[in-house]
Structures are given as C-alpha cells and as structure tokens.
A = this chain, B = another copy of it.
C-alpha cells in the first residue's frame, strides 16, 4: 500500500513478543537488587525524557528550515514541502550556472580563469625565445597552507617562479606558474611535476 523503506512488518511482531516475554533470570535480579520504583513511575519518566528528546530533534530540524527560508530568494510558499522543493530546484540551478561558467571560461583563451571542479595538473614547455620556460597549471581544493606547501615544494627543486596567477573560487583554486631555470632535459620537469602532485591532495569536489 505505501512505499516505505520497509523495515519489514513481521519484525514488528517479533519486537512485540520480545518486549513482553518473560526472562526469569532478569526478573529475579530486578526483584532482588533493583529498587522496583513502581513500573508506572519509571515509564512516565522515560516517556518524558523521550518526548523532550524528540522535541529537541524537531527544533534542530526546524532551525534549518528557518535558515533555508532566509537564504533562498524568491520563496513564494513558506511551508516545509515547498521550501524543500524550492531548495532542490535552486541547488540544481546554481550548480548549472557554475558548470556553464566554467565551460564558457575554459574556451576563452585567458590563462587563469575558473578553477576546475576536479583536481588537475599539467606542465607545458613554452615555445619561442623563452628557452627553459615551463608553464605549470593545476586545480585543486583550497586549504590553509596550500601556498606554503607549494612554496616548500618549489624550493626543493631548482627552478624559480617568474610569474604566477591564482584564482580561488568557492574553496577551489587554480594556479598557473611560469617556471624558469629547470635545465635543458626533462629531469627538471619531472621533478616539478612530482613536487606539485604532492601539493594537490585528493579531496572530492563539491560540484
């Protein structure tokens, strides 16, 4: 009849029997060592505790509803179901806006645009007169100490950063570093790649 997550009905019956079955050992123990402060009294006490706990739970949930009502624009109906429905709608919309922006910026030719939603690292030799100039691009989760880690790793190698661009948006960071002095061979680049990979830690993206 109803679509429930079905913790099965027959187990209800079992619960019932278990609750009222007689456990002789336990009964004797209680008679002798516990103050049988009338069962009724104990029950009403437990009930009171239970109902108060439930009230706290309701308050916790409801406070989140009021938070949602505050931060969501264009709320017409304020009842719970409508608030949740509108929340779902706006979350989907916001995600789409972010994704579209990222996509649009990616093809725009500008070097440092919007951080990617997934962790990335790429290195590229710059052609032309700039001998030994390498461009390193990476996106990752922002965190306190990210730049410090980056600096430490960069110092461990032999290149030097002559230019840098960073964009941080919503906890994601994209950086572009131009590095000189890595040497002629590929050894320096491999080293730099390893170093930067250490900086990027794998955390799940929000988007």
Contacts and interface: CB of A to CB of B under 8 A. Distances in A.
Interface residues of A, number: 60
Contacts of A25: none
A106 to B, nearest CB: 12
Interface string A107-126: 01111111000000000000
B167 A104 contact: yes
Interface of A: 2-3, 55, 57, 59-61, 64-65, 67-68, 71-74, 80-81, 84-85, 87-88, 90-98, 100-101, 104-105, 108-114, 147-148, 151, 160-171, 204-207
19 contacts: A2-B59, A3-B59, A57-B81, A68-B88, A90-B91, A93-B206, A98-B98, A100-B169, A100-B170, A101-B105, A101-B169, A104-B113, A105-B105, A105-B113, A110-B110, A161-B168, A163-B168, A164-B165, A165-B165
